[in-house]
A and B are shown apart, each in its own frame.
Chain A
Amino acid sequence: MLTFAVRRLVLAVPTLLFISFVIFMLLQLAPGDPMAQVPLTVPPDVKEKMRQALGVGEPPLVQYWKWLVQVFWLEPKVFIDWLTRDSALLGWLPDTQLYQGELRVISWQTRSPVMDIVIQRIPQTLWVVGMAYVVGILIALPIGIYSAYRQYSVFDQSGTFITMIGFSIPPFFTGPLLIVIFSVQLGWFPSIYDTTHVVNDWESLKFQLQQMILPVMVLALQTTAQISRYMRASMLDNLNQDYVRTARAKGLSEGVVVAVHVLRNSMIPVITVIALNVPSIFGGAIITENVFKVNGIGQLLITALFANDLPMVMTLTFIFAVLIVIFNLIADILYGLLDPRIRYD
């Protein structure tokens, strides 16, 4: 198991390098010039210096190498410095001062380091998307279990129908639909997610929950639909197995049979699906973030794309790729850990 994990980890490095190379070379084809907005009165040699400061003007391979160094060498240094200087967890350590003011990955929009902006945006995305994922799973599991246990009952039929609908309605339709119903007609929840809102008392916590409900509902509908379908199928596979009959024959109560014997075995594939879907939730949240004006990572990517901010696009896409590779790895390892029948070596 350990050798498998190590091998997969080692294999992930060239994969990620290749992906980053492909994305980088793709972005090199992009039209548009970061210096297009600079006034014509600026002398050419100054312009050339500005170009150098932004990291363009060198051959693409050199630029790629510099980007690699910046992301894999300088950014960790900055991060460690931040950890030892400002964070509460490791702030007691002496300040490491690894970062000596080298050029980091600079956004062409704001002329500030890309990573700083990403770090600013991550909490919003995690709050909304992460909460939606948790809520979706919490709703999906009982639905899947019960509809498999009572297969073809009214609950199962309607549950299957509703998950099918959740599967089919795209978030860019449910989002506006929910806004029309709940914030325009009923006026219960705000339609725009206010990210400057600070939670410091019960009143503001209530507002925070209210503004989170709509985006969380939209995202959770998708998660629920997917996970409960998997849960139901997996439960159905296990419910007809011989060991279930044995458990019943031993005289175990129905609750123990379903909740302990069947559920534990059915959870194995479902957990891997849950792990595999985490990165796609980040990607899919781009649309939901756009609908509800949540300024998270997805919205950052869209604005960066429209503003031709290539370093930002590059770094964000790479972060998404890293997430996918990592969660694939986690899913594989979890599968091996949970199911002793699986042997990787």
Chain B
Amino acid sequence: MTEPVQATPTPIEALADKGPLEPPRSQWKDVWDQFRKHKGAMFGGGFLLFITLAVVVGPWIWQVDAQKLDIRNKDMRPIWNALWDSTAKVGWNRPFGTDQLGRDQLAQILQGGRTSMAVGWAAMILSLLSGTTVGVLAGFVKKADGILMRLTDLFLSLPILPLLLVAVTLFRQPLREAFGPEGGMFVLIVGIIAVTSWMPTARIVRGDILALKEREFIVAARAIGTTPFRIVQRHLLPNVLSPIMVSATLGLATAIITESALSFLGVGFPSDFPTWGKMLADAVQRMQQFPERVILPGIAISLTVLSVNYLGDGLRDALDPRIRGR
């Protein structure tokens, strides 16, 4: 400030900067600030982090084998049943109780969560990669556009759940022989979910790329001789990142639900291998006597999906520059 200080404050002075200017804000800082305002998204992100950590680290802390049969301690109730029923068969060594074969429920929830989350993340990443590739190719390469979009339309008109069921029953045997019972099923379920869920991403990415392609900065990049591959990598992909991230959250949610649905219908992982959907399906027959066995895995699935959906909601708001200013 070079102006001399005056005795009485003037309006001009009030407009002057009090301190040094804030450093320029990056886009991601803006996004984070907007994201933080969305309470549901913060809660969702936090819960997703918590449950991911729990299923990753949990089995090392709670070192009970989820598949170990302990028939003497079968049908134990969760510990909180002791609050209202003093005769209930409970024990601190089995806080969530045991099932009809004496397997520890807490260990099963953790182990099953591992499977469900692994399937969800793997299928989501795979379908995002394929969807983005198809979308970028269709949007950027004019010759490929027609055929790729017809292919997308074709996949969109496939009946997904019936086909999933058909494919699982058909390819179960060969893949089990190739990768082992659990590995084969994992490959199969991840592959099938990815194959049947890449289309929305491809459509969104293609639309955005088509719009971006005509913008000045792409024309400029082309003019200075940037190779097409470099244009895609440096200029187009960062600009379509936000719709991709939003559809990633949706993809994660649907992948977790689809895996549980397959397990529920009895075409998922082998019967001694816990997943949330399978725990739920196994417990349905005895849900009158032991409702908690249905409710615990059900709540685990629902809360995870709910938090992922809220995360997606918040991301959509935070990544949209039109909403971000408000």
Interface residues of A (CB under 8 A from B): 15, 18-19, 23, 26-27, 29-31, 161, 164-165, 167-170, 172-173, 176-177, 179-180, 184, 279-280, 283-284, 286-287, 290-291, 301-302, 305-306, 313, 316-317, 320-321, 323-325, 328
Contacts and interface: CB of A to CB of B under 8 A. Distances in A.
B294 A324 contact: no
A172 B257 CA distance: 10
Contact of B294 (A167, A169, A176): A176
Nearest to B257: A170
Contacts of A29: 170-171
Interface stretch (B78-86, B178-186, B295-303): B295-303
Nearest to B309: A168
Contacts of A168: 253, 302, 305-306, 309
B159 A30 contact: no
Nearest to A165: B306
Given A31-B170, A169-B305, A313-B162, 4 more contacts: A164-B310, A170-B302, A286-B161, A325-B157
Contact of B260 (A170, A320, A328): A170
B287 interface: yes
A216 B267 CA distance: 25
Contacts of B162: 283, 286, 301, 313, 316-317, 320
Contacts of B167: 26
Contacts of B309: 164, 167-168
A290 B277 CA distance: 14
A19 B294 contact: no
A172 B161 contact: no
B220 to A, nearest CB: 33
Contacts of A173: 280, 294, 298, 301-302
A184 B260 contact: no
14 contacts: A29-B171, A168-B309, A172-B277, A172-B281, A176-B280, A176-B284, A283-B160, A283-B162, A284-B161, A286-B265, A287-B264, A321-B157, A324-B156, A325-B157
B166 A27 contact: yes
B233 interface: no
Contact of B261 (A161, A165, A172, A177): A172
Q: Which 5 A-B pairs have the closest CB atoms?
A: A320-B159, A173-B298, A168-B306, A168-B305, A172-B264
B265 A328 contact: no
A290 B302 contact: no
B317 to A, nearest CB: 12
Interface residues of B, number: 42
**Of listed B166, B167, B265, B301, residue having the most chain A CB within 10 A:** B166
Given A168-B253, A172-B260, A180-B287, A317 B306 contact: no
Contacts of A317: 159, 162-163, 166
A305 B305 contact: no
Contacts of A177: 294-295, 298
Chain A binding surface, main DSSP class: helix
B306 A305 contact: no
A305 B260 CA distance: 18
A279 B163 CA distance: 14
Interface string B149-171: 00001101111111101110111
A180 B302 contact: no
A23 B288 CA distance: 40
Contacts of A167: 306, 309
Given A172-B260, A176-B298, A313-B166, A283 B161 contact: yes
A297 to B, nearest CB: 10
Nearest to A308: B169
Nearest to B150: A15
B16 to A, nearest CB: 37
A302 B154 contact: no
Contacts of B264: 172, 287
A328 B155 CA distance: 13
Contact of B159 (A15, A27, A321, A328): A321
B173 interface: yes
Contacts of A325: 157
A320 B287 CA distance: 33
Contacts of A165: 302, 306
Contacts of B260: 170, 172
Nearest to A184: B288
B166 A305 contact: yes
Contacts of B46: none
Contacts of B277: 172
B291 interface: yes
A176 B290 CA distance: 12
Which of B163, B167, B267, B277 has most chain A Cβ within 10 Å? Answer: B163
A19 B261 CA distance: 24
B77 to A, nearest CB: 15
Contact of A26 (B170, B284, B306): B170
Contacts of A305: 165-166, 169, 267
A73 to B, nearest CB: 23
Nearest to B171: A29
B262 to A, nearest CB: 10
Nearest to B161: A283
Given A173-B302, A287-B265, A320-B159, A30 B169 contact: yes
B261 A27 contact: no
B157 A324 contact: yes
A328 B284 contact: no
Contact of B301 (A23, A31, A170, A306): A170
A23 B166 contact: yes
B157 A328 contact: yes
A168 B309 CA distance: 7
Most buried by B among A27, A165, A169, A306: A169
Given A15-B154, A26-B170, A328-B157, A169 B302 contact: yes
B166 A287 contact: no
B111 to A, nearest CB: 19
Contacts of B288: 180, 184
